[in-house]
Chains A and B, each alone.
Chain A
Amino acid sequence: MQNEIHNIEIILVEDSLEDANLVIRSLKKNNLGNSIIHLQDGAEALDFIFAKGKYVARKIEDKPKLILLDLKMPKVDGLQVLRAIKADARTKTIPVVIMTSSREDRDLIESYELGVNSYVVKPVSFENFAQAVAELGMYWLMVNQSPK
Chain B
Amino acid sequence: MQNMNAHTNTDYKLVFYTAPSLILLIKPDSPEFTILDANDAYLNATVTKRFEIMNRGLFDVFPDNPSDIKADGVSNLKRSLETVIKSKQAHEMPTQKYDIQVTTESGIIFEERYWDVSNTPVLNEKNEVIYIVHTAEDVTATFNLENKLKTITAEIEEKSYLLKENEERINAILSALLRYTTMDFSNKLKISDKGDELDAIVVGLNSLIDELENQMKLLKLTNEELAYANNELDSFSYSVSHDLRAPLRAINGYSQVLMEDYGHQLDETGKQTIDVIIKNAFKMAALIDDLLTFSRIGKQGLTKVILNMNTIINGVVQEFKAQNNTVNFIIKPLEDIEGDGSMLKQVITNLVSNAIKYSGKKENAVVEIGSFKKNDTIVYYVKDNGAGFDMKYYDKLFGVFQRLHSASEFEGTGVGLALVQRIIKKHHGEVWAEAEPEKGATFFFSLPLKN
Residues of A within 8 A of B (CB): 16, 18-19, 22, 25, 71-72, 100-104, 122-127, 129-130
Contacts and interface: CB of A to CB of B under 8 A. Distances in A.
A101 B245 contact: yes
What 10 A-B pairs are tightest by C-beta distance, nearest first? A126-B256, A102-B241, A124-B285, A18-B250, A126-B253, A101-B245, A102-B242, A22-B253, A101-B242, A126-B252
A129 B242 contact: no
Given A124-B281, A126-B256, A102 B249 contact: no
Interface string B362-397: 000000000000000000000000000000000000
Contacts of A100: 242
Contacts of A71: 242
A25 B257 contact: yes
A127 B245 contact: no
A101 B249 contact: yes
19 contacts: A18-B246, A22-B253, A71-B242, A101-B242, A101-B243, A101-B245, A101-B249, A102-B241, A103-B241, A104-B238, A104-B241, A104-B242, A122-B245, A122-B249, A123-B249, A124-B249, A124-B252, A126-B257, A126-B278
A125 B278 CA distance: 8
A129 B245 contact: no
B282 interface: yes
B218 to A, nearest CB: 32
B74 interface: no
B161 interface: no
A3 to B, nearest CB: 25
A129 B257 contact: no
B248 interface: yes
Majority DSSP secondary structure for residues of A touching B = loop
Majority DSSP secondary structure for residues of B touching A = helix
A19 B256 contact: no
A101 to B, nearest CB: 4
A122 B278 CA distance: 16
B434 to A, nearest CB: 37
B12 interface: no
Contact of A72 (B242, B256, B278): B242
Nearest to B249: A124
Most buried by B among A16, A101, A122, A124: A124
B254 interface: yes
A101 B252 contact: no
A19 B249 contact: yes
Given A103-B241, A126-B278, 14 more contacts: A18-B249, A18-B250, A18-B254, A19-B246, A22-B250, A22-B254, A100-B242, A101-B243, A101-B245, A101-B249, A102-B238, A102-B241, A125-B282, A126-B255
A72 B238 CA distance: 11
Contacts of B282: 124-125
Given A25-B257, A124-B285, A129 B238 contact: no
Contacts of B250: 16, 18-19, 22
B253 A18 contact: yes
A126 B254 CA distance: 8
Most buried by B among A22, A100, A102: A102
Nearest to B281: A124
B246 A16 contact: yes
A102 B256 CA distance: 22
B238 A126 contact: no
A14 to B, nearest CB: 10
Most buried by B among A122, A126, A127: A126
A126 B245 contact: no
A18 B255 CA distance: 12
Contact of B249 (A25, A103, A126): A126
Contacts of B243: 101
Most buried by A among B238, B246, B252, B278: B246
Contacts of A72: 242
Given A18-B253, A126-B253, A101 B285 contact: no
Contacts of A103: 241
B253 A129 contact: yes
A147 B253 CA distance: 35
Nearest to A72: B242
A26 B248 CA distance: 18
Contacts of A124: 245, 248-249, 252, 281-282, 285
A123 B248 CA distance: 10
Contacts of A122: 245, 249
Most buried by A among B249, B252, B257: B249
A129 B251 CA distance: 13
B106 to A, nearest CB: 104
Contacts of B255: 126
Contacts of A104: 238, 241-242
